[in-house]
Amino acid sequence: MFVFQEMLPIIAHGAEEQIKKDDSKEIQFKQDVRSEKVDKDRGQFPGNKEIPDKNGVAPPKADTEELENTTDQLDSGNTLEKLHGEKETTDKQINDGKGEEKQGENISDTTDQTQDKQSDVSASKEQSNGQKETNTESKPQGVAQIGLLEDTELNVKHLSKAGGEVIQLEYKGRGVLNVDVLSDTYSIFYLPSEIAGRLQKEDVTAFYDVPALSVIVPIIRNKGEFKRNAIHIEGNQVYMDFFNLLAVNLLSSSYFKFTLEIKLSELPPTENGEYEFYSQATSDVVDISVLSGENVATDTLQAPKLPEAPKMDKPVYTTDTVITGTGQANSNIIITTNHNEYEGKVDENGNFAVTIPTQKAGTTISGTIVNDQGYESKKTTVTVLEPPTLAFDHVPDTLPFQSVVIEPGRVTVPRKNPDWTIKVKDTRGEGSKWRLLAEVDKPLTSTDSKRKLTEALVFVDTQQEKHPLTNDPIEVFAAKTGANPITNVRWKSNQGPLIQVEPTDAFAGKYSTSITWTLVDAP
């Protein structure tokens, strides 16, 4: 038996890092493009709103109509007095006739009945007012009585007038019997946020056309314009209180009509090229856009359309100098980063490419389309990322082996640290595959360079097959990246890099070499 007086600590020094790319495999990185769904800006309205003095409503003008058709205008305050005068004239004409006294008496009786009816109506109105006070006190807070009109409809028109554009909304419905017992009554118009957001009070005019007295036929109607202080703008809604315009009592059904005119310097564009309007008559100020039912009238109007937001190719890395994507053909594309703008053109096929300087990781880049009308799309944004990499996260400086005594037969020298580990970091994403290769530049060599242990440094695989480490790279590990980008490369104590020495080749001394580890980003 040969016993070496000196142990043989064999050390691998100077591990090198090297990444070899497989040029035959093209790796593409894609990220989903998500767009944020934007909601309408709807105003919030308390259930019990303090309304300005009802005297803010302009004094109504009255006229007569036979059910739906309006005739000569009358002063509503003197309606009955004029009617009585007309009846007295009729009585005189009949009494001056050829002895038809009976007919005169009948008409006189009719006049008396009308006067009696006026007294009854006045009493009814006073009683109704008393009911309103009672209803106001007992009405549950925050509960809205909606749908005061039936068979409602909303018609919206675009009118071009000198000095700008006008949008006209006409809301019409049939009155419910005894609607005058309510304590409050409102005509509400809900507007698109694009219009409501730029609306000023001086831009709005409102008109009314309602029944004023319906105890007789023909029906007396009120027509006029709401005073400006009777028009209220809150959030997306414009509303008017029309309680003072109600008839003394609706003994027969008649229509109500309210018209809203909005003056604009230009029509604002929308994403879908359409405006949507709502209208309803209610007993409380509520957000009618969230209500459903047949009494909520709706209508739409064509609007200028915004260009669609561009789609920018993702990801964008710190090494990129060109931003590419798609957008509206023949429009302009503006790329903004760190308050700097870079303009380009979208070609006839809808593609663009804009050159920019390289950016730091975490920088936000935005893109906007501008069409020929000067309308700007919503912004599309992308965040600059570090390029995805496959790299060594940690490689120990040395791979030490234990000292052994050479005995007859082949001797296997184990690693000194059984937990010796290489760490690999793969940011290309879960499921990415890679391989680890190893090679040595020369055999294990004594420190005095007099002796070499040829093919003594080997790699033992999971099948216990031995593969000498030479200057030809061999695969020693393969993996697929999981959710954690860090992979620990280690082997069992009887696997991985080991030293196997024949007694006839071993001489006392220290031996070393260098191992080159190589990562390959291909399966």
Do 367 and 418 share a structural domain? no
Strand 496-501 and strand 474-480: the pairing is: unpaired
Q: Are 444 and 48 in contact (CB under 8 A)?
A: no
Amino acid at 338: N
Q: How far apart are CA 263 and CA 210, in angstroms?
A: 24
Q: At 3, is the pLDDT very low, low, confident or very high (cuts 50, 70, 90)? A: very low
In this predicted model, which residue has the larger pLDDT, 512 or 295?
512
Q: How far apart are CA 87 and CA 108, in angstroms?
A: 8
Helix 79-95 vs helix 101-138: crossing angle, to nearest 10: 170
Do 277 and 150 share a structural domain? yes
Domain end among 302, 322, 356 = 302
Residue whose C-alpha is closest to residue 201's, from 263, 142, 248, 243: 263
Average pLDDT on 487-505 reads 91
Measure the CA dihedral 411/416/417/422, to 10°.
Answer: -80
Strand order in the sheet with 496-501: 411-413, 496-501, 457-460, 466-468
Do 287 and 164 share a structural domain? yes
Measure the CA dihedral 290/291/296/300, to 10°.
Answer: 20
Do 289 and 188 share a structural domain? yes
Q: Is residue 43 part of a domain?
A: no
pTM: 0.51
Residue 102 has pLDDT above 80, yes or no: no
Do 393 and 381 share a structural domain? no
Do 491 and 375 share a structural domain? no
Q: At 523, is the pLDDT very low, low, confident or very high (cuts 50, 70, 90)? A: confident
Average pLDDT on 395-413 reads 88
Do 168 and 287 share a structural domain? yes
Q: What percent of the chain has pLDDT over 70?
A: 65
Residue 155 has pLDDT above 90, yes or no: yes
Q: At 216, is the pLDDT very low, low, confident or very high (cuts 50, 70, 90)? A: low
Residue 94 has pLDDT above 50, yes or no: no
Do 269 and 323 share a structural domain? no
Average pLDDT on 243-264 reads 76
Do 260 and 180 share a structural domain? yes
Residue 136 has pLDDT above 70, yes or no: no
Ranges 28-37, 368-377, 495-504, most confident:
368-377
Q: 3-state SS of the chain: helix, strand, coil percent to 5?
A: 15, 40, 45
Residue 224 has pLDDT above 90, yes or no: yes
Q: What is the pLDDT of residue 400?
A: 95
Residue 218 has pLDDT above 80, yes or no: no
Domain end among 138, 161, 182 = 138
Ranges 45-59, 205-219, 359-373, most confident:
359-373
Domain end among 92, 111, 138 = 138
Q: How far apart are CA 395 and CA 507, in angstroms?
A: 30
Q: Render pLDDT for 286-330 as a digit per residue (tens, 0 to 9).
A: 665 555 555 689 999 999 999 999 999 999 999 999 999 999 999
Classify 496 in phi/psi space as left (phi over 0), alpha (psi -120 to 50) or beta.
left
Do 179 and 238 share a structural domain? yes
Count of domains in the chain? 4
Phi then psi dihedrals of residue 79, to 5 deg: -60, -50
